């Protein structure tokens, strides 16, 4: 879904990590914590990222509209852009498995704050802005390689997945675990599994339906069809 909002993906055919494998160091905890130059590079990437000005696309709006219609929708996302909430989904109904890039967190005292405030300090000339509370290293409030997912958020995602009637996996390669395994959990517990993705995934054979095509058009069409059929 972020690609349709102008945010490049990571693992796709033209993904960021395929074009420049070195950028993976920016989201690897050990590299980030141990190398000030990596952190400075990361802050510049955050400052210049198109994600700062990206807005929800038709797919995000379709999900939010479905939730507003009274259908019990829950969003479980690997994306860190916050676009579901910007589209109108209540924050309490969005489980961000990999955290959010809209906040920063101190690696020492765990204080949190807006990403935009930290980026304003970068704009003002700070190469590697420290925590204002304790002087610790700040990072994006996202889950980096080498960090574990928040067990509370993951546990809630598993519970929601086990209870759902329809599980739609949208715009994901379904290769990153444990998040990818939710598709199998849904199918094992009797949910109708639908995969919407441009490329094949390891779970396609398990799916009740696979939809190819641009997510910005494919997902609104799918949700409209399922709603008309009373399947969601």
pLDDT in tens, 218-228: 999 999 988 77
| pLDDT tens, position by position, 112-142 | 999 999 999 999 999 999 999 999 999 999 9
Domain ranges within the chain, ordered by starting residue: 2-229
Out of 98, 110, 177, 189, which one is annotated catalytic?
98
- 98 among known catalytic residues: yes
pTM of the model: 0.86
User: Tokens at residue 200, please?
Assistant: 């094949």
- At 4 the pLDDT is 53
Residues pairing with 194 in the sheet: 168, 209
User: What does the pLDDT read at residue 230?
Assistant: 62
Q: What percent of the chain has pLDDT over 70?
A: 90
Q: How would CATH label the architecture of 2-229? A: 3-Layer(aba) Sandwich (3.40)
Predicted confidence at residue 57, as pLDDT, reads 95
83-98 tens-digit pLDDT: 999 999 999 999 999 9
Please name the residue ranges forming H helices in the chain: 16-19, 29-34, 36-48, 58-68, 83-87, 115-123, 151-163, 181-188, 215-229
């Amino acid at each position: 879904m972020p690609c349709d909002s102008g945010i490049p993906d990571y693992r796709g055919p033209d993904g960021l990590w395929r074009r420049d494998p070195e950028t993976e160091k920016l989201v690897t905890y050990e590299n980030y914590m141990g190398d000030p130059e990596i952190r400075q590079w990361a802050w510049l990437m955050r400052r210049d990222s198109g994600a700062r000005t990206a807005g929800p696309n038709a797919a995000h709006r379709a999900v939010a509209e479905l939730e507003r219609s009274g259908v019990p929708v829950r969003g479980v996302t690997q994306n860190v852009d916050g676009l579901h909430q910007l589209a109108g989904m209540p924050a309490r109904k969005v489980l961000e498995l990999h955290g959010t890039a809209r906040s920063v967190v101190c690696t020492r005292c765990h204080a949190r704050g807006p990403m935009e405030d930290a980026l304003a300090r970068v704009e003002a000339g700070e190469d590697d802005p420290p925590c204002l509370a304790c002087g610790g290293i700040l990072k994006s409030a996202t889950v980096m390689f080498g960090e574990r997912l928040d067990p509370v958020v993951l546990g809630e995602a598993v519970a929601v997945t086990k209870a759902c009637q329809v599980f739609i996996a949208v715009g994901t390669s379904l290769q990153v675990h444990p998040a990818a395994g939710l598709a199998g959990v849904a199918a094992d517990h009797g949910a109708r599994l639908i995969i919407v993705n441009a490329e094949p995934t390891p779970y396609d054979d398990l799916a009740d339906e696979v939809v190819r095509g641009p997510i910005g058009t494919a997902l609104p069409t799918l949700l409209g069809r399922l709603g008309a059929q009373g399947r969601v």
